[in-house]
Amino acid sequence: MRHSLLLASTALLMSVPALAEEGMWLPGQTPALGDKLKAAGLELSPADLGNLKAAPLNAIVSLGGCSASFVSPEGLVATNHHCVYGSIQYNSKPGQDYLTDGFLAKTLGDELPAAPGSRIYVIEDLRDVTAAMNKGITTKLSGFDRYNRLEANRKALIAECEKQANRRCDVRPYFGGQTYFLQQQLEIKDVRLVYAPAGGIGNFGGETDNWQWPRHTGDFGFYRAYVAPDGSSVPYAKENVPYKPKSWLKIADKPLREGDFVMVAGFPGVTQRHWTAAEVRHNFEQVYAIDQQLRADYSAAIEKAVKGNKDAEIKYASILKGSDNYKKKLLGEIAGADAIDLLGRKDKADADFRAWVAADPARTKMYGQALTDLDALVAESNQARVDNLRLATVNRAQLLSAAQLLYRWAKERGKPDAQREPGFQDRDRLSMRERLTQVERRYDAGVDRVLFQQALGEYAKVAADKRNAPLEAKIAELGMDRLYADTRLGVTADRLGWMDKPAAEFEASTDPFMQLAVAAYPGQKADEDKAKERAGRLQAARSAVMAGQIAFAREQGRTLYPDANGSLRFTYGKVTGKQRDGLIWTPFTTAEGLVAKQTGRGEFDAPKAAIDKLKARDFGRYADEKLGTLPVDFLSTVDITNGNSGSATLNARGEFVGLAFDGTLDGVVSDWSYDAAINRTIHVDSRFMLWTMDKVDGAQRLLTEMGVGQ
């Protein structure tokens, strides 16, 4: 999400690591990476690659959780099938099952509004605001006051930026708040579903193949960005027209081969490569096992509750898919940590840094106290993390979550806008309304009750002094029967009607879920204030320690790229398989492999039309001469994480050759530490995408728009 970066901390840009594949790089780091990029095979100028006013990077967009890219002058956006899955689900119902059958708009007029809250964010600018963020920050401030000062500075910067119409701005920290940048984006509010292949292609292999290789999944789909006739960004309206992007990606017409240079550009979500050894150890020894079990139990409860109810199955399909995806990833991270001795690596890196600090009195003076403070704060934070996992499960009850959201909205509206909590300002009103609207197609009272009861069982495992006693007492007083029988929050019009009511009406309400929200609020607010106090102290300590880490790396001839934080990054590598004793992964999967997996049922049920054409070798111009067949997916060494889903994969000329959609289970530990021997990214090959569009679904209108065959 970033414009050309002229980073304040020049230490970030001085050198690059020997291991080219590692790194989620900022666009402004291309000058330092130039020689490495050219040696790896980049045919573009590194300076051009880092320019967010030109292709390819200004064609890369965020969906607010997934990545995507413009692939036509008419605002057509390519991303993963699983990134448009929520919109497929939202538009599905019994008798109109786009999840199974897929969806293709024959004309512009047939394109469907995406799920409420869908956005396309187009990056326009990014600037260093570190000095402005640190205004008024002193060592004398308490943690709570430091947090509030930083938040006030952040809000002021955002408010000034958003005086421009149709813009969404944000300030994000890098290196624990050692540096800050403000991002400015055009927020496109009218997003429409254009095309998604059948589930038997877009999700071929399901959970069985998820995070696995070999893979044969056509994980792709298309949105379109719409704006008002005058070019302004407005919500859905029939008279809106396709957005005209400044740039879009050219679809490659030269075959991708083993060993070729590739890049991925997108918006990786969160990595923890700069966490301390103590944080990592606590996470893997305590947090992850519990988190994985909670998610597994949640998935199992949903599956049981919706079984035999087609409407409920559709309503909870997106929620279930997300839970299943993450629970499996957690298993991979746990196993991967053992395989690469992650804890040993972190212990050594931590010890090396501390020895470097201790070896010089000046460094000890500069970083020693910050290290001591950070150690104490990490120990304090670690104690709360497991409890918070269980306490948070009650938010799976959608009506309770909606009631708490609405009551907090009412409480915050009683303050001046600049003093409200993030997410509850006037700028958030539309997204709040859309979030509350989504419930109508993702809620079933019977299922919600089952999930709430399960959550309360987990909640009760937390020590009594950590739980919200008034909330528990009110639940016991009302009882489950009354909660679901007497509420009107399941009705969308009634739910939205609460948005403009004052807090006093909530406090006088007889709606049982509103009573829960009111009862819970004081305890939640007290916990929130404690968290702010700790967060302020953590920012002070961690930013100072990270300044030391940057200096330590510089002395060793290394550059630290910041942990992923949802901002635009690029990473590069090669199309490469993997080999170890008893195992060979070829870099491409093919049509023959897909046909061999086809069973015609369950997770391996591609459409008959697709299987028939694959068996007949009707590959058309999309076959690869060297492979002698149609490629489906491929592996590379590029460095990605969650949030990169839907990221465009580019060749050495910056042309579109596919979409990143997954990693392999043994490599997902790269969120914590990159290992070139095991890290691989899975991409859907653009040739399989185009073949499906052409030969299976008849999407010639879109192919022509994308310039394919012209």
Active site residues: 82, 219, 645
Q: Is 347 helix (H, G, I), strand (E, B) or coil?
A: helix
Angle value at C-alpha 83, between 79 and 174, nearest 5 degrees? 85
Rounded Cα–Cα distance for residues 449 and 466 (Å): 24
Q: Which residues contact 246 (CB under 8 A, 6 or more apart)?
A: 53, 58
Closest CA relative to residue 659, chosen from 142, 175, 215? 215
Query: Cα dist. 151→240, 419, 430 in Å?
Result: 36, 9, 22
Amino acid at residue number 109: G
Q: Hey, is 113 helix, strand or coil?
A: strand
**167's tokens:** 């813009």
Omega of the bond leading into 255 within 30 degrees of 0 (cis): no
Instruction: Give residue for tokens 């740039």.
Output: 247
Per-residue 3-state assignment (H helix, E strand, C coil) for 159-174: HHHCCCCCEEEEEEEE
Please identify which residue in the block is written with the tokens 């070019």: 231
Q: Quick one: tokens of 46? A: 């590194």
Q: Is 408 helix (H, G, I), strand (E, B) or coil?
A: helix
Contacts of 554 (CB under 8 A, 6+ apart): 11, 14, 15
Cα-Cα-Cα-Cα torsion 548, 554, 559, 561, nearest 10 degrees, comes to 10
Task: Count other C-beta atoms under 10 Å from residue 412's C-beta.
Answer: 18
Amino acid letter, 637: T
**Rg, C-alpha atoms of the chain:** 25
CA distance 317 to 327: 15
Phi-psi region of 23 (alpha: psi -120 to 50; beta: other; left: phi over 0): left
CA atoms within 13 A on the CB side of 34: 10
Is residue 230 within 8 A of residue 237, CB to CB? The reply is no
Reduced to 3 states (helix: H, G, I; strand: E, B; else coil), residue 93 is strand
Closest to 697 (Cα-Cα) out of 42, 28, 103, 26? 103
Nearest Cα residue to 189 out of 239, 228, 245, 230: 228
* 243, 660 contact by CB (below 8 A): no
List strand residue ranges (DSSP E) for 218-284, in order.
221-227, 241-242, 261-266
Beta bridge partners of 249: none
How far apart (Å, rounded) are the C-alpha atoms in residues 612 and 63?
Answer: 35
